[in-house]
Chains A and B, each alone.
Chain A
């Protein structure tokens, strides 16, 4: 039962353009969502998070949008840079629970 889904295994974007990574979830109990970036042979690095009481959170070039009615969140990266090339995971949790439920990841390639 995949509660968090990233349906695009890969995405290729030109440097300077916008990257949009998508994530869908099924569990309406989720109330906290996060995006992580992962380079090969390293652990995931936290990027940005959003609580279910908000619909947008912005941090520099990164913005996360949450659409609760559609159970959908997205990460926008503007402008995209070659150093952004990595695998991006969305994750979700609920209540005061500790565990994160991760999607399968989307590999972003930003071409110069």
Chain B
């Protein structure tokens, strides 16, 4: 297994444009998470899925943000009408659920760096 992958690694867009990021988790993991990290801060939770079900969304996830995991495998995060404040590193992670009998630490991808001009 090659780990969690994210695409693209970098995205530069103009304010008001829509962007979509993709995350491919570790194949055996049924949990998938999205986080956002800004300079000098730790990652902040956005949302997570167990299989295809979205189980929790942060209040950071405004109406302009939508995440999907249609077949319980890869996930997409879309930001509509981007704003300069959306500039950040968007991180994806995957894991087994806690209490599943498997190790449950989250494994992170390399992130997508978004710059909104």
Enumerate chain A interface residues (CB-CB to B < 8 A). Answer: 4, 6, 32, 34, 36, 41-46, 49, 89, 91, 93, 96-105
With known contacts A34-B105, A44-B108, A89–B56 Cβ distance under 8 A: no
Residue from the set A42, A89, A97, A99 with the largest chain B CB neighbour count within 10 Å: A99
The residues of A that contact B98 with a CB separation of less than 8 Å are: 32, 93, 96
How many angstroms from the CA of A36 to the CA of B109 in the assembled complex? Answer: 13
The residues of B that contact A103 with a CB separation of less than 8 Å are: 42
User: B33 touching A99 by the CB < 8 A rule?
Assistant: yes
Q: Which chain B residue has the least Cβ–Cβ distance from A4?
A: B42
Range for the number of chain B residues in contact with chain A: 20 to 34
A43 CB contact (under 8 Å) in B44, B58, B109:
B109
User: B42 touching A89 by the CB < 8 A rule?
Assistant: yes
CB distance from A36 to the nearest CB of B (A): 8
- Total A-B residue pairs with C-beta atoms closer than 8 Å? 65
User: B48 touching A99 by the CB < 8 A rule?
Assistant: yes
User: B56 touching A43 by the CB < 8 A rule?
Assistant: no
B56 CB contact (under 8 Å) in A32, A44, A49, A99:
A99
Cross-chain pairs A/B with CB under 8 angstroms, 14 sampled: A4-B42, A34-B105, A41-B110, A43-B108, A43-B110, A96-B97, A98-B97, A99-B45, A100-B45, A100-B106, A104-B41, A105-B40, A105-B41, A105-B42
B48 CB contact (under 8 Å) in A32, A89, A98:
A98
User: A96 touching B55 by the CB < 8 A rule?
Assistant: no
CB distance from A22 to the nearest CB of B (A): 14
| 6 further contact pairs, Cβ within 8 A, besides A43-B91, A93-B98 | A34-B105, A43-B111, A96-B97, A98-B55, A98-B95, A101-B45
